[in-house]
Structure 1
Amino acid sequence: MKRSYLVFTLLWFLFSIPSANGHEIRPAYLQIIQVSENSYEVFWKVPSMGDAVPKIQPVFPSSFSIENLKTPNQIPGSVIYYYLIRSEESLQGKELYIKGLDKTLIDVLVTVTYLNGEKATLLLQADKDSSLIPGQTSAMGVVKTYTILGIEHILLGIDHLLFVLALIMITKGKWKILKTITAFTIAHSITLSLAALGYVDFPGAPVEAVIALSIVFLALEILKNINGEQTLTSKKPWIVAFSFGLLHGFGFAGALSDIGLPQQEIPLALAFFNVGVELGQLIFVVFVLGLIKLLSLYKNWPVYSKKIPAYAIGSLAAFWMIQRVVAFWE
């Protein structure tokens, strides 16, 4: 009973996060490319949910003039703005501020490419909405930025967390859990790397729908296990974790493609985005196992609580699946 009640508690926590469709809160992306000694092209991509677009925008120093190059382009999940900024002064060393960022949960990944080929990368967040624009970013700066992005992606990716939670719920024994989570990690690391490097490509919408379906499948397996039916998932959960982990890797790759990779540091950025995903996943697993230990101190959970988490997980995942399939035709 204790594990069922744990899942019910975690589901309540996860549902309280503002995410209607199970996706993580995607970062915004600001790309600045120097095209002449005194001018820069600016590509500003803001995540959206339907017609709702966060009221955030980059603010450059007053010495820079701003010109709209194109009308805003609305694509599924984002709005893209194009600007040209000019000044007699260099952008390097000047302050960049994202207006309205402190009122959101969105991160902003900023990349700057100078005429001499040097690149700068920085990450702005709600509690750090401004920064001086550096010259070339060090390898350590790339490591820090993409590790943070990886951690945040998994911890804010509600569908991925529900899948891991369902795996833990159906898997009995610490060593079995370790093997299962390791199999999931290896699998999604493989497909994340292959997709991010351009060796394989799957359309994002079907992948997201089948990810939701994978959670529905685990919810059904949990119910079978509760009813005393032994399945392949309950006997050898690492096989199912590896199989679906390959699919989840494509989901991670889709998020990484939205963020972008610095062209001069692709292997390093990819490796540490993956490291960040694994660290975030480890944080969640440790939290779940710790809560199991804590809740095991109370022995008298009600009988009806046993199946509630499985139905809750399955119902939410089924909703996501239908929502994502319907989105194919919009």
Structure 2
Amino acid sequence: MIRWLAALCLFVLGAPVHADEMRPVAIQFEQVGETEWRLGWRQPIASAADDRMAMPELPANCRIKGAVRRQMAPLAAHGTADVTCDGAVAGRALGWPAFPGHGEAILRVAPLDRGVQVHRLTPEQPSATIAARPSSAQVWRSYFDIGVEHILAGWDHLLFVIALVLLVARPWPVVKAATAFTIAHSITLAAVTLGFGGIRQDVVEALIALSIVFLAIEVARGGRDTLTQRLPWLVAFAFGLLHGFGFAGALREIGLPEGEVPAALVSFNLGVEAGQLLVVAAVLAIMALLRRWRPPSEPLAVRLVSYPIGIIGAYWLVDRLAG
């Protein structure tokens, strides 16, 4: 069990230093005339292995018209091009060929006479067939998957949830705290996405890092009588409002399909909740095993895990404040 805990600490310490890296490739294919389309894409650059000259693979009946316009930045490559298509694109495939440094791409297709459709591309499915009539089910499925991956790949949200479970420890209080966190981040996520308010993203990210440090300190202090120990749901709700701004920033990066904003928003949030419940269940299961096999070791083990969580959160806080 001690070896398991050591491995867990090393795993947490080895988490990516850039926490909320839910930054997929974004591809926009927009119709501007009867046969004319505009292609645009943004490719995050995660490593030297990424091909900065990569571009989407067009449907077989489409071709680039004129020059491809590119703009390079340290962390992203942007491109646009004018496209001409012979006939309809419905039933044709459009994809992204280069996935070495990132795990997915979000494709938005916007015909003139039909609603916007959204497709999620992965290394296993690098292309998608453009639908003649996109269904709401396709939007629900795509954004649910995006929400699950966001919470599981967004290390700042993930560490906050882990620290919250470690602090509360007991199943029923954990359920109440997790529910309060979910309600709170749903409120701010919806408010920002629908245009009712917002906070600068750099400020949000710094405050999220601060929330991780705060919870890590509370966990490390053990069983002392604090507000967080007495009313964990209240603290979870307050910080959930903050994390909702972070979720909204990620959703803004991905984009929302016109005409399907409510479906995309709800399904993304449900995906986040599903991923969060997986994390909560996994941490509670590990704690239950420890409590069963080595009961006296549980307080020490929980405190041991809180230190790397706090160190990573403090690093993110300083890094984000420094810009």
TM-score under structure 2 length normalisation? 0.90
CA deviation map 1:112-167 (0-9, x unaligned): 11121333221111111122222231011111011111111111111101001111
The 1-side partners of 2:256 and 2:247 are apart by 13
What is aligned with 2:264?
A: 269
Number of residue-to-residue matches in the alignment? 319
The 2-side partners of 1:63 and 1:268 are apart by 31
What is aligned with 1:137?
A: 134
CA drift of 1:12 comes to 3.3
Residue 147 in structure 1 maps to residue 144 in structure 2: yes
One-letter code aligned to 1:322: V
What is aligned with 2:235?
A: 240
The 2-side partners of 1:266 and 1:209 are apart by 28
Q: Is the 8 A contact 1:25 1:106 kept in 2?
A: no
Secondary structure at the aligned position of 1:137 is classed as: coil
Q: Is the 8 A contact 1:181 1:238 kept in 2?
A: yes
Q: Which runs of 5+ in 2 are unaligned?
A: none
Q: Call closer, same or farther: CA 1:54–1:298 in 2, change over 3 Å.
A: same
Residue 191 in structure 1 maps to residue 205 in structure 2: no
Q: Is the 8 A contact 1:109 1:259 kept in 2?
A: yes
Residue 312 in structure 1 maps to residue 311 in structure 2: no
Higher mean displacement: 292-301 or 259-268:
292-301
What is aligned with 2:18?
A: 21
The 1-side partners of 2:146 and 2:103 are apart by 11
Give the alignment partner of residue 296 of structure 1, picking from 269, 291, 300. 291
Higher mean displacement: 113-122 or 251-260:
113-122
One-letter code aligned to 1:88: D
One-letter code aligned to 2:245: F
- After superposition, residues 76-115 of structure 1 pair within 5 angstroms as 78-101=76-99, 103-115=100-112
Q: Call closer, same or farther: CA 1:290–1:323 in 2, change over 3 Å.
A: same
CA drift of 1:104 comes to 4.0
CA deviation map 1:69-122 (0-9, x unaligned): 643164x85432111111323322222231122x34421111111121333221
Q: Call closer, same or farther: CA 1:305–1:144 in 2, change over 3 Å.
A: closer
One-letter code aligned to 1:311: Y
The 2-side partners of 1:238 and 1:165 are apart by 15
Q: Call closer, same or farther: CA 1:73–1:218 in 2, change over 3 Å.
A: same
One-letter code aligned to 2:184: A
- After superposition, residues 34-45 of structure 1 pair within 5 angstroms as 34-45=31-42
What is aligned with 2:50?
A: 54
One-letter code aligned to 2:249: G
The 2-side partners of 1:199 and 1:282 are apart by 28
Q: Is the 8 A contact 2:219 2:302 kept in 1?
A: no
Give the alignment partner of residue 285 of structure 1, picking from 280, 283, 292. 280
Give the alignment partner of residue 253 of structure 1, picking from 240, 248, 252. 248
Q: Is the 8 A contact 1:212 1:317 kept in 2?
A: yes
Q: Call closer, same or farther: CA 1:198–1:284 in 2, change over 3 Å.
A: same
